[in-house]
Amino acid sequence: MEGARSEGIVEGAVREKREMARKLLAMGMDHSAVGKATGLSENEIRSINS
């Protein structure tokens, strides 16, 4: 049961990072800066933007 809880917490954190990246991209921030701010990779950011 504890493993499932930890997995859910991690998934929630990744979802929050992706949402923040989406907002930063909408504000016109470049991919490199979004990556530094969120910790997401360039590929993850490109997948959000497409």
CA 5 – CA 50 distance, rounded (Å): 31
Helical H segments across the chain, by residue range: 2-26, 31-38, 42-49
pLDDT at 1: 62
- Is the pTM higher than 0.75? yes
Nearest Cα residue to 48 out of 19, 28, 9: 19
Residue 47 pLDDT greater than 70, yes or no: yes
Nearest Cα residue to 47 out of 12, 36, 10, 25: 25
**What is the count of structural domains for the chain?**
1
Residue 2 pLDDT greater than 80, yes or no: no
- Which residue type is seen at 36? K
Q: Looking only at Cα atoms, what is the longest distance across the chain?
A: 41
pLDDT at 6: 83
In terms of residue numbers, what domain contains 40? 2-49
9-40 confidence digits (pLDDT tens): 889 999 999 999 999 999 999 999 999 999 99
